[in-house]
Amino acid sequence: MINHDIVREATRLTRAGQLMEATALLQRMLRGEGVSEPSGSTASAAPARLEPPTIDLKANVVEERECRPPAQASSTPPRPKSPLRFDGMKDFSRLGLRGPIRRASPSASDIAPKGTTFIEGTFSNAAGSRTYKLFIPSRNQGKPLPLIVMLHGCTQSPDDFAAGTRMNFLAEEQNCFVAYPEQSSGANQAKCWNWFRKGDQQRGSGEPSLIAGITRQIMRDHAIDPKRVYVAGLSAGGAAAAIMAATYGDLYAAVGIHSGLACGAAGNLPSAFMAMRQGGGPEALVKVGSVVPTIVFHGDRDTTVHPDNGDRILEQSAKATSPATKVLRGRVPDGHAYTRTIVTDQSGRVISEHWNIHGAGHAWSGGSPAGSYTDPRGPDATREMLRFFLARKLPGDGACHSTPGTGQALTPPY
């Protein structure tokens, strides 16, 4: 049960900058017990680097069925509402209550393949300024190419996120640009995108305007196909990607959300803790008729962002239609089992996929240990997101006009 006195006091302490005290109060409310001081920890040695497994969708499928449930109904069996464990400050770092975890920077060979370019840029507008990295494939010869915008999780950087997802390596295979906007520690102490603030959930303001501005600046400066621009993210970045899909459906042809939350899942710090703990949230911000095709990945053992949040994203994407649902179950060889739910509208168009990864926690599925928050046991979320993205285009001419901003020149870091 929510103790509203504690919530009010935690909100007051947060506004006063007393984040540790606010965290202690919220932990007491959520766990129903005293709060112990977080103990110091040291980073464990990184495991041996592994190539992420590639999943064959035709292999190891053990069940396939079709049904036509009523709108808003979940197509997967309900999970028990057992309380999640919060691991001290580790989990609250997702909301910006702790500084970045110290970790060795990935090498250039982990970030992008040889013969490609990874450059830096800056975008500014009335909401502020953000830097970003841009991957340019080697076969970039002026022909308009797809662009994937990748939003990192808390404590991560563009280099770390690129190394962990290996998106640049697959983008080189498929001849795509990849952009990595970077959240600043000045905007959030742990470099989390502020998905839980109402001011950062609106088109034309806050962080959505900065991410959209970076996207449009790259579209202006490079040969980008305006019909094939996509956005994806992990954890807080996944929640930010959901916001971008809800507020800029004319800019992004599809969205990928890994271990994230639905747009509108929270509107302030206390409601963000509750959404992370048990899923849910207030009214969805997606308008009927503005559905962006969505692919979701979420581990069913995620104790940082409750797996029910993945179901809520699926429900949002099906708001405008009475969907038909196909469920496939399988297993990655020597890896995780999964349940893949494909939702189509009345015309047969796929509007969403939901990959429920059995036994996985809060980590990018199929990622490389060269980056943080990855699980090499698959399925390969990067490859599946790209497959889902590249099968979709914006309708019409896909034209998007740039927004006012101050762009600085791009410079190669290596």
Q: Is residue 289 part of a domain?
A: yes
Is 67 in a helix, a strand, or coil?
Answer: strand
Instruction: Indicate whether 30 and 119 sit together in one domain.
Output: no
Count of domains observed in the chain: 2
Q: Is residue 46 part of a domain?
A: no
Per-block mean pLDDT, blocks of 10 residues, the chain (414 long): 62 56 57 39 34 39 46 43 38 41 79 96 97 96 94 97 98 98 95 95 96 98 97 97 96 97 88 84 48 94 91 70 84 96 89 96 96 96 98 75 37 30
**Residue 349 near residue 79, CB atoms below 8 Å:** no
Instruction: Indicate whether 11 and 127 sit together in one domain.
Output: no
Instruction: Indicate whether 30 and 132 sit together in one domain.
Output: no
Greatest C-alpha distance within the chain: 61
Instruction: Indicate whether 125 and 23 sit together in one domain.
Output: no
Instruction: Indicate whether 24 and 123 sit together in one domain.
Output: no
Q: Is residue 373 part of a domain?
A: yes
Q: Is the peptide bond before 38 cis (omega within 30 degrees of 0)?
A: no
Position 290 scores a pLDDT of 60
**Residue 102 near residue 155, CB atoms below 8 Å:** no
Instruction: Indicate whether 132 and 11 sit together in one domain.
Output: no
Instruction: Indicate whether 27 and 120 sit together in one domain.
Output: no
Instruction: Indicate whether 4 and 127 sit together in one domain.
Output: no
Tell me the CATH number at 304.
3.40.50.1820
Instruction: Indicate whether 26 and 172 sit together in one domain.
Output: no
| Burial class (CB within 10 angstroms; exposed 0-12, middle 13-18, buried 19+) of 66 | exposed
Position 50 scores a pLDDT of 33
pTM over 0.85: no
| Burial class (CB within 10 angstroms; exposed 0-12, middle 13-18, buried 19+) of 151 | buried
Q: Is residue 54 part of a domain?
A: no
Give the phi and the psi of residue 217 in degrees, each rounded to 5: -65, -40
Pairing of the two strands 294-299 and 350-358: parallel
Instruction: Indicate whether 291 and 153 sit together in one domain.
Output: yes
Q: Is residue 71 part of a domain?
A: no
What is the domain range of residue 191?
A: 92-99+112-411
Is 286 in a helix, a strand, or coil?
Answer: coil
Please give the DSSP secondary-structure letter assigned to residue 305. S
Q: Is residue 21 part of a domain?
A: yes
Instruction: Indicate whether 123 and 270 sit together in one domain.
Output: yes
Q: Is residue 211 part of a domain?
A: yes
The whole-angstrom separation of Cα 228 and Cα 395 is 10
Instruction: Indicate whether 26 and 158 sit together in one domain.
Output: no
